[in-house]
């Protein structure tokens, strides 16, 4: 599904990713953990195609195709989805119209006709129920005046609507109370299949109690310094990140 080889990336001349290697296969859930400033969000943004980041070296392959030169919209058309750590407020554009436009533009890119209106409505109804989202909420401007939990639920709602192959959840657990966390995790689990893959980026282990990872990677100073199974997440929760840093420096 996704293969990252020796990825170096910088922003405004400052190197942030310093040689990432990662392979994610269809059907897998990978967790990327690490202390603040280790490059987790940068990795997510670089995969999604944020243009401020400069890829200096290495490559990102999605289903064996190099996606380095593609814009964020073209990557989305190929099935990449990023759930934002800080979803952007866009006054004046409703969630429903946003999703309609996003789905139909994606279909257009694939040479398909617009989705019929009734099919779209049915899909919106089903997916909003999955995320326990009030319908009224969908006619509001994107993220405007949404609580932290509402924003994150709205991100996963969008993921459900767009049905990506590769979903990257960037700190989706931050700002969530336990109920919202359960709803979000439940949504992600229902969307998981043998044909798609999920990368969960998190600072804490608690989301991983709900979305069980197959692999856990620790990012430190722009490199993956340790990989393991879900037990590694528990170990990090218990011991913090300092021992990793020491191990690396030793």
Partner 1 sequence: MELKEKLVSSFMAFEDTVDVHSPIHDIRTEAIKTFETEGFPTKRQEAWKYTSLNSVLKHDYSVFPKQENEIEFKDVKKYFIHDIDAYKIIFIDGKYASHLSQTTHDGIDVCLMSSALSKPKYRLIIENYFNKIASKDGLSSLNTAFSAEGAYIHIPKNKLVQKPIQIIHFSTGNEAALMLQPRNLVVVDENSHVQIIERHQSLTDNPVLTNSVTEIFTNKRAIVDYYKIQNDRESASLIDNTFVNQKQESLAKVHTFSFGGKLIRNNLNFYQNGERIDSTMKGITIIGNKQHVDHNTLVHHIEPNCESHQDYKGIFDDSSTGVFNGKVVVEKEAQKTNAFQANNNILISDKASINTKPQLEIFADDVKCSHGCTIGQLDESAMFYLRSRGIPEKEARALLMFAFSNNVLDSVKIPEVKNRITKIIANKLGVNIGFDL
Interface residue list for partner 1 (CB under 8 A): 48-51, 71-73, 75-77, 81-82, 84, 87-88, 90-94, 97-106, 109, 141, 158, 162
Rounded to 5 degrees, φ, ψ at 71 are -75, 165
Q: Would you tell me how many other CB atoms lie within 10 Å of the CB of residue 95?
A: 24
- Closest separation in Å from C-beta 17 to partner 1: 18
| Minimum CB distance to partner 1 smaller for 120 or for 225 | 120
- Closest separation in Å from C-beta 168 to partner 1: 10
| Minimum CB distance to partner 1 smaller for 79 or for 213 | 79
The number of CA neighbours under 13 Å toward the Cβ of 30 is 23
In terms of Cβ atoms closer than 10 Å to its own Cβ (0-12, 13-18, 19+), residue 97 is middle
- Closest separation in Å from C-beta 85 to partner 1: 12
- Closest separation in Å from C-beta 28 to partner 1: 22
- Closest separation in Å from C-beta 2 to partner 1: 16
| Minimum CB distance to partner 1 smaller for 87 or for 148 | 87
Q: Would you tell me how many other CB atoms lie within 10 Å of the CB of residue 203?
A: 17
| Minimum CB distance to partner 1 smaller for 52 or for 56 | 52
Sequence-ordered list of residues with C-beta below 8 angstroms from that of 161, at least 6 positions apart, any chain = 99, 102, 103, 123, 124, 127
Structure tokens at 90: 């866009």
| Minimum CB distance to partner 1 smaller for 157 or for 215 | 157
Question: H or E stretch including 15?
Answer: strand 14-24
């Amino acid at each position: 599904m996704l293969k990252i080889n020796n990825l170096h990336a910088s922003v405004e001349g400052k190197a942030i990713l310093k040689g990432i290697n990662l392979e994610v296969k269809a059907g897998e859930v990978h967790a990327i953990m690490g202390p603040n400033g280790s490059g987790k969000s940068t990795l997510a943004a670089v995969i999604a195609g944020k243009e401020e980041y400069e890829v200096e070296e290495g490559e990102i392959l999605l289903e064996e195709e190099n996606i380095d030169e593609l814009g964020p919209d073209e990557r989305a058309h190929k099935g990449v989805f990023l759930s934002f750590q800080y979803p952007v407020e866009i006054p004046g554009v409703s969630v429903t119209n946003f999703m309609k436009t996003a789905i139909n533009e994606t279909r257009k890119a694939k040479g398909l006709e617009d989705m019929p209106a009734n099919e779209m409505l049915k899909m919106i109804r089903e997916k909003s129920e999955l995320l326990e989202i009030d319908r009224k909420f969908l006619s509001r401007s994107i993220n405007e005046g949404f609580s932290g939990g509402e924003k994150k639920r709205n991100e996963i709602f969008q993921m459900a609507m767009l049905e990506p192959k590769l979903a990257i959840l960037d700190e989706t657990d931050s700002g969530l109370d336990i109920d919202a966390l359960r709803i979000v995790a439940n949504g992600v689990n229902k969307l998981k299949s043998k044909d798609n893959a999920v990368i969960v980026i998190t600072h804490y282990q608690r989301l991983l109690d709900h979305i069980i990872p197959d692999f856990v990677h620790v990012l430190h100073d722009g490199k993956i310094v340790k990989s393991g199974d879900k037990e590694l997440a528990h170990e990090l929760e218990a011991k913090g990140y300092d021992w990793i840093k020491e191990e690396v420096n030793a």
